[in-house]
Structure 1
Amino acid sequence: MSTSSTVDRAFRTALHDATDETLDAGASLLAADPAADAELDRRGQEFVAAAWRRGWQPADVVRIVRRELDEVHVRLVSALIRAQAPHDRPRGPRWKAQLAGLTAEDAPRTDRFSCATAVLELYRLLLRLPVLEPLDEAPAGTGPRDRRPESRMLGRIRALLAKAEATGFPQEAEALSAKAQELMARHSIDEALLAAQAPSGETPGACRIGVEPPYEQAKAVLLDAVAGANHCRAVWNESLGFSTVVGFASDLEAVELLYTSLLVQATTAMTRAEAALGVPPARAEPRARGRAGGRKRTKTFRQSFLAAYAHRVGTRLAAAAESRVDDDLLPVLASREAAVADRADRLFPETTTTRLRGVSDAAGWEEGTRAADDARVGRRPPLP
């Protein structure tokens, strides 16, 4: 029997019938034929290439695999993506950065049956990935931004936010975050002025940013606020666990940096507030009857905390963004924002709004608002 025939039989058995029995039968066929391993790997690379044609990117695939399966599957798909990359067409710098960030270790060696089972579970998932909006970018060296030196401003911003996340002193974190936001606003305006003075043909791009559970609604609101303050638009895909952010390249980088930093700072502040108020720890044993009320209080407190944090940060970010704009900049920024809106509307002609659920803990809301005020993400002096 040929190796291709073995793989075809295993696929017919296991990939289109999502039951444990067919999975075991397909894995048994593959485990019994070591010569089929190379063909199985080649088919996996074909599934990866098909995902690219359906609009997925490396970070998106890894995110959904981690969300739906286990770490062994993440290692398997990372290895497939790395193996497929040399056969892929030229891609842009964001794609290359995603490849560079892939898990470097191969999946741990186990018995052949367990390995084949994991591979088939992964291929089942890859086979049913839906079509996404294409976010293609120009290959490195061909876009307008590749013809001008890269600003060192984002490196300074990244360093400031890393210090804000690491420090144990709230006042220092406030000062560092404030400085980072000030640099972000200045960087965005400098980019807009440069484009207006020397048009480069740059158009808005887009990226996907993971919005992970728990409390993903509040996190999506926070990301939307950060995007809006930085001249971008965000559209949340709840079922797949990410938001697509549309904007110019430098603004997209700023959004990623600030959103990630604010999440870290919010989590730190939330943990501190829980300890101060005596909210039960989130790791309460799932079957401990006496702790059921504590688990419920933890969930409602955290949901309310993050919702309030996102709401208040959004208000303050919007005020900070407006305070950076002089009247003579309005036409330049309006033109760029119109281009962003047009790209977002073409990518997402139909969107719906979602109301936050589960915001019922008054103490959580109060503490989240206070933490957002302490984050000091705008310019000094303090915003109202």
Structure 2
Amino acid sequence: MGKNSKARRAAKARSKTQAKSKAREKAKRRERPSGGSRPSGGSRPGGHGGRGGARPGDGPNPFGEPFREDPEGWAHNLLEEAAWLRYQNSNGIDHSEGHQASILNDLRSVSVEVLAQAGERAILRRLGQIWDGGWQPAELLRQARLNGKRATTGRLVGQAIANDDVRRRATTLDSRWIAQTEAMGLPDADGKSGWIRRFVLMEGLDAAEVRDLLIDVLAVMYLPKVETLIPPPGSKGAAPSGRSIRDPASADRDPMLERIRALLAKAESTDFEEEAMAFTAKAQELITRHAIDSALLDDAGGTGGEEPGIIRVPLDPPYWDAKGLMLQIVAERTRCRALMMTGLNMSRVVGYPSDLEAVEMLFTSLLIQAQTSLAQAGRSAPPGTRTRSTSYRASFLVAYAGRIGERLAEINAAVASEVAETQGGGFLPVLRAREDTIDEFMAEHYGDSSKARIRGGYDSAASAHGRMAADSAKLNFGDVEGDGSPGPSGAAPPHALSRESSGS
């Protein structure tokens, strides 16, 4: 065999080896990340109905020269893939380090200008899908601030919401949606292309920081579908799963709820635990009387048959699970049901509209009062003492919640007994029927729930302190006005947090 023939054969062999190597790399990139489930209610980026754009590997020859003729599209797919891998890694699903490094290496070849354009395309598309999945602007921004790896993640999500919102006609937005975005204090936006590039310049970010920021923003925007409580932009009518109760106009029209709100504001503003709890007791009395009045009207055929509604209540760290237990107890003592939304630091509460308004107001006020008591204990103790430890604070909140549940039950029993003596007990079957309806609603929509232990350890001194703080005043509504006295104590509240089952 001549030298020329040998050279040709060697070149041909090298060509085949290179082709096989490229094919293996392409197949590797086409392969879906495995080893874990997709976000509940969503799908991998790439499908029509997924929560993002097409992923690298979808479509013909995504990393070949033809695809590189569209650098923005190429960068868009790389960002989506990198975000998906980060999302899965954050949920304990590991992927090949080589695969991740390869994507990041490809992204390094993309200019900041192209990354910014691709990021706008990906984020705005994802926002529309998130709104259709039941999320509200304030909830998304909170998730970004909680789960983002950097402070700029929350700020860029705020910019995205503002630019998405300004592009929409007011006639396509529900009044509650408009009220929420106006209350969020979003940054100024004009909706014009280039807002990410302007954000990057304002923040003084370099190319590496821009890449990481866009990946992080897209990763925190992988969210499961939730109930639609406010119709999303462009939709018509409310969702069948229950209307939102967060309607400022309806709350302002109810003078009883305004009285309750005023009493709780007084409870939050005082530094004296006894006074705070007395105001809270009066508020709970009004809440219970309001529910009984509604039941009496229903018994007389005057309400037209209300249906259960839903609210979602945020539970911020630290001690989110202890706070969730307090919300659960308050909800049950107010004829509602609370269920922790796994992995989202939120709880959904199901009940009748006026009760739901009351639950949110009462829980928020009690949380402020409990934190005030904890802060006072911390200020009076030297650094390093038990009052500043995690186990102490978690145990305090759990005990506080338990004792509050007992006191609320006493108030409910006293009010019910007084009304039954003067107006008869016709409201009792109505209240029981309403609670049965709520339980049926929960079973139908969310199935069986599971119980979770409260984390943070146990501290007996903190437990005693928590019960004392909740019991520092007798919760007689006569402590504020009137001569009522407490009725029999209710059953002890649960000390385990109800949450969604993994299959929900």
Same fold? TM cut 0.5 = yes
Matched length: 367
- Matched residue type, 2:225: V
Q: Using CA pairs below 8 Å that are at least 6 residues apart, which structure has the higher relative contact order?
A: 1
Are the counterparts in 1 of residues 278 and 477 from structure 2 also a CA contact under 8 Å?
Answer: no
Compute the TM-score of the two structures, normalised by the length of structure 1.
0.81
Residue-by-residue CA offset, 1:279-307 (whole Å, 9 max, x unaligned): x54xxxxxxxxx5xx47962221121111
Structure 2 matches for 1:1-384, cutoff 5 A? 4-5=72-73, 7-11=75-79, 14-18=82-86, 22=103, 26=107, 29=110, 31-33=112-114, 37=117, 40-69=119-148, 70-85=150-165, 86=168, 95-105=177-187, 109-111=203-205, 113=207, 114-115=209-210, 117-126=212-221, 128-135=222-229, 139=238, 150-196=253-299, 197-276=301-380, 278=381, 280-281=382-383, 294=385, 298-325=389-416, 326=420, 327-374=425-472, 379-380=477-478, 383=486
**How large is the RMSD of aligned CA atoms in angstroms?**
3.5
Are the counterparts in 1 of residues 411 and 476 from structure 2 also a CA contact under 8 Å?
Answer: yes
Are the counterparts in 2 of residues 60 and 208 from structure 1 also a CA contact under 8 Å?
Answer: no
Go from structure 1 to structure 2 and tell me whether the alpha carbon gap of 1:198 and 1:79 turns closer, same or farther (over 3 Å shift): farther
Are the counterparts in 1 of residues 244 and 311 from structure 2 also a CA contact under 8 Å?
Answer: no
Identify the range of structure 1 (331-340 vs 73-82) with the bigger mean alpha-carbon deviation: 73-82
Go from structure 1 to structure 2 and tell me whether the alpha carbon gap of 1:320 and 1:20 turns closer, same or farther (over 3 Å shift): farther
SS at match of 2:404: helix
Give 1:109 deviation, angstroms.
3.3
Give the number of the structure whose alpha-carbon radius of gyration is greater.
2
Q: Provide the C-alpha distance between the structure 2 equivalents of 1:30 and 1:250, rounded to a whole number of angstroms.
A: 54
SS at match of 1:207: strand
Are the counterparts in 2 of residues 177 and 376 from structure 1 also a CA contact under 8 Å?
Answer: no
Q: Provide the C-alpha distance between the structure 2 equivalents of 1:103 and 1:331, rounded to a whole number of angstroms.
A: 46
Q: Provide the C-alpha distance between the structure 2 equivalents of 1:335 and 1:372, rounded to a whole number of angstroms.
A: 31
Residue-by-residue CA offset, 1:158-187 (whole Å, 9 max, x unaligned): 222222212223343233222222222223
Which structure shows the higher helix fraction?
A: 1
Q: Provide the C-alpha distance between the structure 1 equivalents of 2:183 and 2:405, rounded to a whole number of angstroms.
A: 30
Give 1:13 deviation, angstroms.
5.7
Are the counterparts in 1 of residues 391 and 457 from structure 2 also a CA contact under 8 Å?
Answer: yes
Q: Provide the C-alpha distance between the structure 2 equivalents of 1:91 and 1:218, rounded to a whole number of angstroms.
A: 36
Q: Provide the C-alpha distance between the structure 2 equivalents of 1:52 and 1:359, rounded to a whole number of angstroms.
A: 38
- Matched residue type, 1:29: V
Q: Provide the C-alpha distance between the structure 2 equivalents of 1:144 and 1:9, rounded to a whole number of angstroms.
A: 36
Go from structure 1 to structure 2 and tell me whether the alpha carbon gap of 1:232 and 1:7 turns closer, same or farther (over 3 Å shift): same
Ranges of 4+ aligned residues in structure 1 off by more than 4 Å: 1-4, 19-25, 87-97, 133-140, 143-149, 294-297, 375-378, 381-384
Are the counterparts in 2 of residues 6 and 29 from structure 1 also a CA contact under 8 Å?
Answer: no
Go from structure 1 to structure 2 and tell me whether the alpha carbon gap of 1:32 and 1:4 turns closer, same or farther (over 3 Å shift): closer
Give 1:308 deviation, angstroms.
0.6
Compute the TM-score of the two structures, normalised by the length of structure 2.
0.63
- Matched residue type, 2:410: A
Identify the range of structure 1 (232-241 vs 17-26) with the bigger mean alpha-carbon deviation: 17-26
Identify the range of structure 1 (220-229 vs 106-115) with the bigger mean alpha-carbon deviation: 106-115
Go from structure 1 to structure 2 and tell me whether the alpha carbon gap of 1:151 and 1:133 turns closer, same or farther (over 3 Å shift): closer
Go from structure 1 to structure 2 and tell me whether the alpha carbon gap of 1:80 and 1:195 turns closer, same or farther (over 3 Å shift): farther
Q: Provide the C-alpha distance between the structure 2 equivalents of 1:20 and 1:323, rounded to a whole number of angstroms.
A: 66
- Matched residue type, 2:144: V
Q: Provide the C-alpha distance between the structure 2 equivalents of 1:139 and 1:205, rounded to a whole number of angstroms.
A: 12
SS at match of 1:352: strand
Go from structure 1 to structure 2 and tell me whether the alpha carbon gap of 1:214 and 1:144 turns closer, same or farther (over 3 Å shift): closer
